Amino acid sequence: MARVALETTLLAHGVPRDAAMPLYDELTAIVEREGARPAAIGVVGGQARSDLSRDEVESLLEVRPTKLNTANLGLALFRKTAGATTVSTTMEIAASSGIAVFATGGLGGVHKHYGTQLDVSADLAAFTRFPVAVVASGVKSILDVVATRELLESLGVPVVGFRTDVFPAFTVADSDAGVDARFDDEDELADFLRFELRRTGRGVLVCNPVPPPSAIAKERFAGFLAEAERRASHAGVSGRGVTPFVLGALAEISAGETLAANLALVKNNTRVAARLASRMVASGN
């Protein structure tokens, strides 16, 4: 049976605590309805796991686990601590477990101050190392979307759109960047993913925009973001703490609008990922 990787950082740091387990239950149900098996990924007791049970996920969330990227994953394994996987570590563990498809919300990418401080998510380089198809709504809207798209091009990462010609920006459906190719047919896209993952041993980004009813207009989001960034600066937040802080502030400032969009897009991405994974297995993966 096809498996679909699900990250734990989304649950631990991307949504309010009381929404985490209900979201987990919804995502696993979506995967199962599409004929695939959910694979919750995280680090528990110093072990990288791609088969966490519901109870294990719940226990992991209770300790507010560290966000793990490919830079600090080894430290958690060596010191036998717990951790929630980001896109990069979910890709690494999924690839080592033979899982070819991963559903998430939005990638990390190039931060807006990259001209004065080199700040680029490990998510992008992970595509050059791990043969996993990642279904996401592009890159998080709080980042430099165009620079992120350009860096993906520089890294040689195939970026394809599922029923879109535009590189989406998380809760914002459009941006000033495009994709390498558009696929409107799920079977054709599944065939391409199977072909490309085997051909290169590298990853593919499948861009699936936020559903139109939940999308936030660019100008409206820009206003929310300006206030969220002001709050982050005032609070002195830095490093790995910036993204979860800003996402939380956005949810508060927008009266839940950004959170609702986030939930809608990750559920939609999970459905698409499960359908693609099932078709990849059915056609020979």
In this predicted model, what pLDDT tens digit does every residue of 82-95 receive, in sequence order?
999 999 999 999 99
CATH number at 3-282: 3.40.1790.10
Tens of pLDDT, residues 103-153: 999 999 998 875 667 789 999 999 999 999 999 999 998 899 999 999 999
pLDDT band at 243 (very low <50, low <70, confident <90, very high): confident
Q: Which residue, 46, 55, 53, 37, is CA-closest to 98?
A: 37
Domain assignments of the chain as residue spans, ordered by start: 3-282
Mean of the per-residue pLDDT values of the chain: 94
Catalytic positions are 7, 140
Amino acid at 58: E
pLDDT at 247 > cutoff 90: no
The pLDDT assigned to 146 comes to 95
Q: Quote the pTM value.
A: 0.94
